[in-house]
Structure 1
Amino acid sequence: MKSRLAVVPLLLVVVAGCSIANPTSSEVSLQYGAGPFDSRKFVECEDDRDVSDINDDHYYYPKGQRDFTFGESDGIDSAPLTSTTQDSQEIKVNGTVKFTLTTDCTEFTDPTGKTWPGGKIQMFHELIAYKYDAAPTDGGEQMKPGWTALLRNYVGAALDRATDNEALKYPWQKLYNDAAAKAQWEKDVLAQLPEVLKSLTQGVDLITINSVLLQKPSIQPALVQGLTDKQAAELRSQAAEVDKQAAANFPGGIPGYQAYQQQQAVNEAIKAGRVQVLPVPQGSSIIVSPNK
């Protein structure tokens, strides 16, 4: 009877001495040994619930597509990006990059010759994310504030360089007014972005870029006013050309057309109540006076 009682506390200690990895379907967990008798090293990747040593740590990263947003609204990842166009004008760029974190846990060797038993996700964690304290240590939680800083310094920095490189190919009016040019700019940024990003991650595709959406760029107020003035001048010029053609074809030529316009102006003024026609005896001249 005494031996049976002695076994119970021992079993309780064993059960209590565990940590549990519990990733959701949209997460992967990285387990690291951290006990007093363990070296600080990678143990395994976990996609399902797993019981491990009580002292081990677990870091959770997202699987599936995520967004990196940049612009002037609240609650987004980054402020607008700035680029310079072919004609040396600064534009502000807002938009969204859709990306997927590479969560492959298959052992591989990086370009420096280092082997990662936990694959690209282990490389991402140890070389980048751990320094930012980006990952939660419990499943189902939001990414830590360091995650946003990480995205700005990698996805955001790569995107900034790509948009700069491609904006230099266009004058500002093309990106602002020409839908085809703006679509090509967006396409070229998407094509360039993965390689720029890989240059920040030792040539390894730790983050996969899925799409880039760039909104119509914002331009300086002086350019907006100049564009408005130009459009107004073009409209005035077009109206003048219409008047010129109408006058040339009007009976009586330009004098007849001018007399017609003056009569039309008087008629419109009378209708609007801006002038008053006074009754006069038959045969007398018509007197038109302003309506005060």
Structure 2
Amino acid sequence: MTTTRNTSAALLAAAALLAVTACSVTTDTNEVGLDYDYDSWAGETTIEGCVSPGQRAWQDINDVGVIYPADQRSFDFSDNAGAESKPITVVSKDNLEMSVAGVATFYLNQDCKALQAFHEKVGKKFAADTPEGWARLLSVYIKQPLDRAMDAAAKKYDWKQLFADPAIKQAWETEVGTLAQQFIKEQAGADFFTQFRFTLQQPQPPQNVRTALAAAQEAVEQNAAQKNRNEQVQTELQSIKELVKVLGPEGYVLYQAMKDGKVQIVPVPVGSNVNVAPKQ
């Protein structure tokens, strides 16, 4: 009986010691972690390994664990509430400043060595495992290269092409995607971000330019409508001239009166004894 009590006490003591001296890196299904071992004697921290989504790694109390997102991330640059940035400004070939809203989606590279390099070269500097630090990181490593890519691609086109030509907009968007991935890698120094998708809205010129463009378009439409009306009048005049040639001026007047219902026609059978007296 004494042995059993001693064993139970030892297990409780071990459990208590474990609770004091151990913790864990526990990831959710949309997270990935890094497990670092801290050697208090040497004062050094070395990587133990990565923690896959939905897993747990036990650590000593002085060890370090870091958790990053494993699911798709986004960088929203628009006027939407909660967006990471306002719309990005670009300058067209003909030097008009335009604003572009959109979103970039991507994943953090989850290869263990790449994730470790990301944390040690970039993540720690920004405290990117916190919401505030992640937002600062996006501004430097996503927004700035994306801004540069959008501007570089826009320099090839006039503003009206970017604003009104769907084929040009598609070509510009494709080039932005290619340049942005290149510039983001250059900014970070490695492929820390992968699987990019860029969705860009139509570049928008300033409001005063859009107002002037709408007014010009309205004038064009009004001119076209007036031209159609003029052509219709000319057609009617030509028709009148042809009728006058055939009927004579008085005949045309009678024809028009009959057409308008101003003259009543009463059919009279041949041989009928009908007298029609003119109105007094």
Find the counterpart in structure 1 of residue 73 from structure 2: 66
Judging changes above 3 Å, is the alpha-carbon distance between structure 1 residues 131 and 61 closer, same or farther for their aligned structure 2 residues? Answer: same
How high is the TM-score relative to the length of structure 1?
0.74
Amino acid at match of 2:26: N
Gaps of 5+ in 2: 242-278
Q: Report the Cα offset of residue 8 of structure 1.
A: 5.3
Aligned to 2:188, the other structure's residue is in SS state: coil
Mapping of residues 58-207 of structure 1, within 5 Å = 58-105=65-112, 119-135=113-129, 143-202=130-189, 204-207=190-193
Q: Report the Cα offset of residue 26 of structure 1.
A: 1.5
CA distance in 1, matches of 2:150, 2:139: 15
Gaps of 5+ in 1: 106-118, 136-142, 256-282, 284-292
CA distance in 2, matches of 1:254, 1:59: 90
Q: Report the Cα offset of residue 88 of structure 1.
A: 0.3
Q: Report the Cα offset of residue 180 of structure 1.
A: 1.5
Amino acid at match of 1:128: V
Aligned to 1:40, the other structure's residue is in SS state: strand
Aligned to 1:219, the other structure's residue is in SS state: coil
Find the counterpart in structure 2 of residue 32 from structure 1: 36
Judging changes above 3 Å, is the alpha-carbon distance between structure 1 residues 240 and 51 closer, same or farther for their aligned structure 2 residues? Answer: same
Find the counterpart in structure 2 of residue 115 from structure 1: none
Find the counterpart in structure 2 of residue 140 from structure 1: none
Find the counterpart in structure 2 of residue 268 from structure 1: none
Note if contact 2:30-2:70 (Cα within 8 Å) is conserved in structure 1.
Answer: yes
Structure with greater proportional helix content: 2
CA distance in 1, matches of 2:167, 2:128: 39
Q: Report the Cα offset of residue 160 of structure 1.
A: 0.3
Cα distance per residue 1:146-184 (max 9 Å; x no partner): 101101111111110100000111111111111121111
Note if contact 1:247-1:254 (Cα within 8 Å) is conserved in structure 2.
Answer: no
Judging changes above 3 Å, is the alpha-carbon distance between structure 1 residues 250 and 22 closer, same or farther for their aligned structure 2 residues? Answer: same
Note if contact 1:83-1:167 (Cα within 8 Å) is conserved in structure 2.
Answer: yes
1:42 paired to 2:47? yes
Aligned to 1:76, the other structure's residue is in SS state: coil
Return the index of the structure with the highest Cα Rg.
2
Aligned to 1:251, the other structure's residue is in SS state: helix
How high is the TM-score relative to the length of structure 2?
0.77
Q: Report the Cα offset of residue 218 of structure 1.
A: 2.4
Aligned to 2:120, the other structure's residue is in SS state: helix
Q: CA RMSD of the aligned region, Å?
A: 2.4
Q: Percent identity?
A: 29
Amino acid at match of 1:126: E
Q: Report the Cα offset of residue 216 of structure 1.
A: 1.7
Q: Report the Cα offset of residue 91 of structure 1.
A: 0.6
Amino acid at match of 1:163: M
Q: Report the Cα offset of residue 45 of structure 1.
A: 0.8
Find the counterpart in structure 2 of residue 57 from structure 1: 64
Cα distance per residue 1:59-86 (max 9 Å; x no partner): 1111132111111122111121110001
Q: Report the Cα offset of residue 254 of structure 1.
A: 10
The alignment of Structure 1 onto Structure 2 pairs a total of residues equal to 235
Find the counterpart in structure 1 of residue 194 from structure 2: 208
Q: Report the Cα offset of residue 36 of structure 1.
A: 3.0
